[in-house]
Amino acid sequence: MNEDSNKKLTVRERLAYSFGAFGNDAFYGLMSGWLVVFITSHLFNTGDKATDAKMVSIVTILMAVIRIIELFIDPFIGNAIDKTKTKWGHFRPWIVAGGSVSAIFLLILFSTMGDLYKKSPVGYIIVFAILYIVMQLFYAFKDTGFWSMMPSLTLDSRDREKTATWARVGSTLGGGLLGILVMPAVVAFSATKTTNGDTRGWFIFAAIVCTIAFLSAWAVGLNNREVTSDIRKNTEDTSLKGVFKILSGNDQLLSVAIAYLCYGIAVNVTGSLEIYYFTYISGQAQAFSIMSTINVIMGVIASAVFAPISKKYSRKAMFVTALCLMLVGLGIFAIAGKSVPLAILACVVFGMPQQLVFLVVLMTITDSVEYGQLKLGHRDESLTLSVRPLIDKFGGAISNGVVGQVAVIAGMTTGATAASITAADQVKFKIAMLLLPAIFLILSMIIFSKKVILTDQKHTEIVAELEATWGQQFENEDSETEAAEVKGNGTVLTTPVSGELLQLEDSSDPNFASGKMGKGFAIKPNDGRVYAPFDGEVAAAFATRHAIGLKSKDGLTVLIHIGIDTAKLNGTGFVQYVVQGQEVKKGQELIEFWDPTIKQHGLDDTVLVTVVNSKDYQKLAVTEKFGKTVAAGDPIMEIE
């Protein structure tokens, strides 16, 4: 382990990374949502509405196609970043370069380019395509590098959690404030004080956001550095081929992915069209800022109540209830008409449950890692977790194309006002904004309800089964040379945790008490710190953080299991300081657990330690008397 492994982040480093998250999400909102609004409502103004509509249609479809193609390029971007070797590390060069170039190119896209579209429509489309492709590629490098960098900032689990929290606050503020400030700012900077501003107002606002994105990228590059460690050499390439492969074999992941895709299309389309509703139906574009402010507050509240709600209700119940509320929101939109208060209420009812849906989906996809491991016989963590962001990007790409076409069909392009939108136009708009998303939400609800069976209890059962079968892969796998070496030298196992030494046979867990998990011992802990009993490698690290498997260079394989049935806690009360594949030294802290949390849930806190490949050894003898209090690091078992 490199000495950097123990590095803790300073306040300045956390602030820099949080500022990076702020700028990153503000930029994404401008690029993904507001660029389409600018293009459809302000850019093309030739005086010929048919030509303007044609340009809007072509450009927005082009944006959607480019973003979808980018999905196939993303895995190569991630792998290219991993292979980057500079004195600045893997990520910082891409964060700075990607953030700088994408900011400059997006700002150009928010300009009229000298009214090029009037002089040469084809020329404008070609230039736009080149600028948009370059901007998207450099942003993809920056975005991937930024979020991939977080695990490399520190190897300390608590420090990571704190940094992630700061970053999440930064990203939430970046995305939230953009929605709140965009319309007042655009109008304030515009030459003509119309309800939705003009091209000058949009360019100045874009310049401010792009400048923030530029500076935040440099703030991360100059203030954050990557720690060096053997852990980071253990990477898993992500590819679309690999994603489709695990989707075909993991039915739970596939079901969640399809349900989330239907949901994502509905949310992206309706969410992107909300500003059009306030502008062209209600006639009060700046009311969008009031709605955004309320939605940010309600979103924070929804995130805060997720934990207590999840203890009382199943994920399926929360998912279905959330989508039902969103359907109610669409219903309120349908009757809102020009009423701003009703439109705001509709947005809030539609928007607030989205945080709950996101967390339910995130937890279910995370649990599908273990489901797939049990079913397929191998663990595909990176590939499994990459499914959600891929679907998010696909939904965003689809919405770009749909919004552009809806704006054209409903007459909501440059020069249009609430007064110019006919009743027929409003019907067309509402079909796209309300009816089609409602159909996708219902499909999502049906798929999740009928096909997704992963509950907290089911996941606990899967983890327990994985534990019970984990050691089988190590039985009899040592070569004769290794076996002879172990037999000749002998091995002394030390105590991983302090407490009262107990016989494993007296454990209330039948798998351990019967010897099915191997020979060993148990400890009634008086301390919540678990240490490595020998030099070796982390062979298994469970997502629930309640157990860990270690393997020595000689082939000795040990499972340390904290408590009985503690997989039910889903990691609550546990902090893990190492990751799978990491080399550890004897006496190095592996896990810390909060004993009162285990007892508050009515669970047994006994720590169970077994040699899972016991059959490979002639002698496994506990050297201390049962009932005695032992300290972590004391010699406890002789192995030959």
Instruction: Identify the CATH number of the domain defined by range 1-235.
Output: 1.20.1250
How far apart CA 534 and CA 486 sit, in angstroms, is 14
H-helix segments, 452-572 = 456-470, 480-489, 510-513
Collapse the DSSP code of 492 into the 3-class scheme (helix H, G, I; strand E, B; otherwise coil) and give the result: strand
3-state class of 394 per DSSP? helix
Could you give the CA distance from residue 628 to residue 631 in angstroms, rounded to a whole number? 10
Q: Tell me the whole-structure pTM to 2 decimals.
A: 0.76
What element of type H or E holds 260? helix 251-276
Pick the CATH number of 473-639 from 3.40.50.2300, 1.10.760.10, 2.70.70.10, 3.30.70.20: 2.70.70.10
Query: Would you say 181 and 150 are in contact if contact means Cβ atoms under 8 Å apart?
Result: no
Region of residue 516 (left: phi > 0; alpha: psi -120 to 50; beta: else) = alpha
Element housing 222 (H / E) = helix 199-223
Instruction: Render 137-149 in DSSP notation, one character per residue.
Output: HHHHHHHHHHHHH
pLDDT for res 482: 41
Q: How many CB atoms lie within 10 A of CB 408?
A: 19
What local confidence, expressed as pLDDT, does residue 235 receive? 47
Euclidean distance between CA atoms 151 and 579, whole angstroms: 11
pLDDT tens-place string over residues 402-425: 999 999 999 998 888 888 899 999
Lookup result for tokens 């959600």: 388
- Per the CB < 8 A criterion, the answer to whether 470 and 611 are in contact is no
Task: Provide the residue type at 182 as one letter.
Answer: V
Angle 36-38-41 (CA atoms, 0-180°, nearest 5)? 100
What confidence score (pLDDT) does residue 155 get? 60
Q: What is the pLDDT of residue 462?
A: 80
With a cut of 50, which residues of the chain have pLDDT below it? 1-5, 229-235, 476-489
- Give Cα separations from 247 to 384, 449, 615 (angstroms): 8, 19, 37
- Structural contact between residues 567 and 544, judged by C-beta atoms closer than 8 angstroms: yes
Identify the residue whose tokens are 């989330």. Answer: 260
Task: Say which amino acid occupies 24.
Answer: N
Tell which residue, 525, 529, 548, 522, has the closest CA to residue 593.
Answer: 529
Q: List C-alpha distances in Å: 246 to 174, 243, 381, 459.
A: 34, 5, 10, 18
All CATH 1.20.1250.20 domain ranges of the chain, comma separated, are 239-454
Name the token pair of 372.
């797939």
Could you give the residue range(s) of every CATH 2.70.70.10 domain in the chain? 473-639
Residues taking part in catalysis: 561
Give me the chain's average pLDDT, please: 85
Neighbouring residues of 515: CB distance < 8 A, sequence distance ≥ 6 = 504, 505, 614
Residues 6+ apart with CB under 8 A from 575: 157, 158, 545, 591, 592, 593
Q: Count CB-CB contacts under 10 A for residue 275.
A: 23
CATH code, residues 239-454:
1.20.1250.20
